[in-house]
Amino acid sequence: MTATLTTPPVTTPAHRDPNVRRWLAAYTSSMLGDNVYYIALSWAAVRSGTPAQVGLVMSASALPRAVLMLGGGVIADRFGPRRVVIGSDAVRCAAVLAVAALLFLSHPGLWLLTLLALVFGAVDAVFVPAVGALPPRLTGKDQLGRVQGMRSLVIRFAAVVGAPLGGLGVAAGGAPAAFALAGLLVAVSVPLLVTVRVRDLPADDAARVPGTAWSDLKAGLRHIRGHRVLAPLMLAIALGDLGFVGPLNVGLTLLADRRGWGASGMGWVLAGFGVGAGAASLLLAVRGRLPRAGLVAGWTITVGSAAVGALAQAPTLLAAVGTALVVGLLTGLSGVMCGALLQTHADPAYLGRVTAVSSLVSLGLTPLSMPLAAAAIGAFGLGPVYAVSAGVCGLGGVVALAVPALRRAELPTG
């Protein structure tokens, strides 16, 4: 399939551009399908196996996603992100609908669910870099901050709405119905993506002739390593995520249990975080950009890390919810700003590979901190582990503030 190459007017705000809105609608449908899929997968696994087997099925997608992510960035840059996103959604749709049909007709067991999880992980390794590389081909650089905010809002919306949709699917017809719903939601994204127009790359980027996959990957890594903004930004993102994932996931579960807040209390804390993060995304989606983006990112990471450490000291559930709201606001703002800086400062020809490296840290490596955090909390307690995690996260802010090129980095103006 060949892409239709055109240049949308740079002066059109992203939220008013029909081309961007079609992409956003496709992305929303795809993300809703993802969330429904995970509900269906977990329910089917629980009905078919032991708790240990359920854990293996749910984590099966992590390995191919982590191993193949960098290669996925090469594919996105070589073949074009639009084609890759369309192909990825088509494969995911076909795989999920095939499993739904098999579950309707028979009871194949855990092997089918494991195979589906592996396929999803492998496709995600291609899909995620392509999604990150697509926005610069849809609109001008001055609108990428707004697009990043809109994309973050979609992710929050899909997480909130996708779980109840998945539950409704399970209630209506069990795991097969939920898988069918997930496949149909992903399927909606494909025709929308086909209608999305993409821009030509700048002449010097389009003229580059790709070499082997390995040489393309090395060229992308060199691009990051030699860039005055991207190199420290990657380090800041890695430290911020490593210090944040453990406390928010396994740490929060243990905190709620030890304080006697229960599952509902943990839900309220997560809701506070979600509201804060959603407000940060909305802010950038509405404003389009914030001045002194690098400085804002550095300070929000730094102050947000202190809020992460304070969460373990919250004396009441209300205080924990308020602290989580602050954490969500600050870390959400820093995440959106870092994503916007990545998209605006990376050469478009390398953006798939740049996104792959940042996604590898967030989706591939930082989850490894969760079992380490759980073991450390068991050995040393909540307070010390949260303090160390906050320190690691804060180092990301220190990097952003200490490196002049990153501290002074700006988002483009119209």
Please say if the pLDDT value at position 7 is more than 60.
no
Distance CA(340)–CA(14), nearest Å, equals 14
Between CA 296 and CA 35, with CA 340 as vertex, the angle to 5 degrees is 115
**181 and 75 share one domain:** yes
3 located within any domain: no
> Quick one: what percent of the chain has pLDDT higher than 90?
41
pLDDT confidence of residue 319: 93
**163 and 242 share one domain:** no
Continuous H helices in 197-292: 203-206, 213-225, 230-246, 252-259, 262-287
Q: Is the pTM of this model over 0.95?
A: no
Between CA 278 and CA 282, with CA 281 as vertex, the angle to 5 degrees is 85
pLDDT confidence of residue 1: 39
**190 and 221 share one domain:** no
pLDDT confidence of residue 367: 66
90 residue type, one letter: A
**162 and 249 share one domain:** no
Distance CA(115)–CA(342), nearest Å, equals 34
Mean pLDDT of 162-177: 89
208 located within any domain: no
375 residue type, one letter: A
Mean pLDDT of 317-345: 91
* Contact yes or no for 192/22 (Cβ under 8 A): yes
7 located within any domain: no
**154 and 226 share one domain:** no
pLDDT confidence of residue 203: 44
* Contact yes or no for 380/231 (Cβ under 8 A): no
27 located within any domain: yes
**189 and 271 share one domain:** no
Between CA 325 and CA 331, with CA 327 as vertex, the angle to 5 degrees is 125
* Contact yes or no for 393/243 (Cβ under 8 A): yes
**117 and 28 share one domain:** yes
CATH number of the domain where residue 95 is located: 1.20.1250.20
pLDDT, tens only, 51-64: 777 777 877 888 88
pLDDT band at 11 (very low <50, low <70, confident <90, very high): low
2 located within any domain: no
pLDDT band at 9 (very low <50, low <70, confident <90, very high): very low
Mean pLDDT of 216-234: 93
pLDDT confidence of residue 26: 95
pLDDT, tens only, 21-41: 999 999 999 999 999 998 899
pLDDT band at 365 (very low <50, low <70, confident <90, very high): low
* Contact yes or no for 15/153 (Cβ under 8 A): no
Neighbouring CB atoms inside 10 A of 1's CB total 8
359 located within any domain: yes
Which DSSP string do the residues of 329-364 spell out, in sequence order?
A: HHHHHHHHHHHHHHHHHS-GGGHHHHHHHHHIIIII
Q: Which of 199, 233, 253 is the last residue of a domain?
A: 199
Closest of 138, 112, 7 to residue 49, by C-alpha: 112
Q: Which of 199, 226, 249 is the last residue of a domain?
A: 199
* Contact yes or no for 230/354 (Cβ under 8 A): yes
The residue with greater pLDDT, 324 or 257, is: 324
**151 and 294 share one domain:** no
Question: What range defines the domain where residue 132 resides?
Answer: 14-199
345 located within any domain: yes
Please say if the pLDDT value at position 2 is more than 70.
no
**143 and 240 share one domain:** no
pLDDT confidence of residue 237: 92
379 located within any domain: yes
| 397: Cα separation from own chain's centroid | 20
* Contact yes or no for 201/349 (Cβ under 8 A): yes
**188 and 257 share one domain:** no
* Contact yes or no for 58/232 (Cβ under 8 A): no
| Main-chain dihedrals φ then ψ at residue 316, nearest 5 degrees | -130, 165
Structural tokens at position 256: 């709620």
pLDDT band at 267 (very low <50, low <70, confident <90, very high): confident
The residue with greater pLDDT, 126 or 202, is: 126
pLDDT confidence of residue 209: 52
Check the CA dihedral 102-107-108-110 and report its sign. Answer: positive
Q: Which of 140, 174, 199 is the last residue of a domain?
A: 199
Q: Facing residues of 198 across strands?
A: 5
DSSP assignment letter at 210: P
**171 and 31 share one domain:** yes
- CA R_g for the chain: 21
Number of domains in the chain: 2
pLDDT band at 210 (very low <50, low <70, confident <90, very high): low
**257 and 347 share one domain:** yes
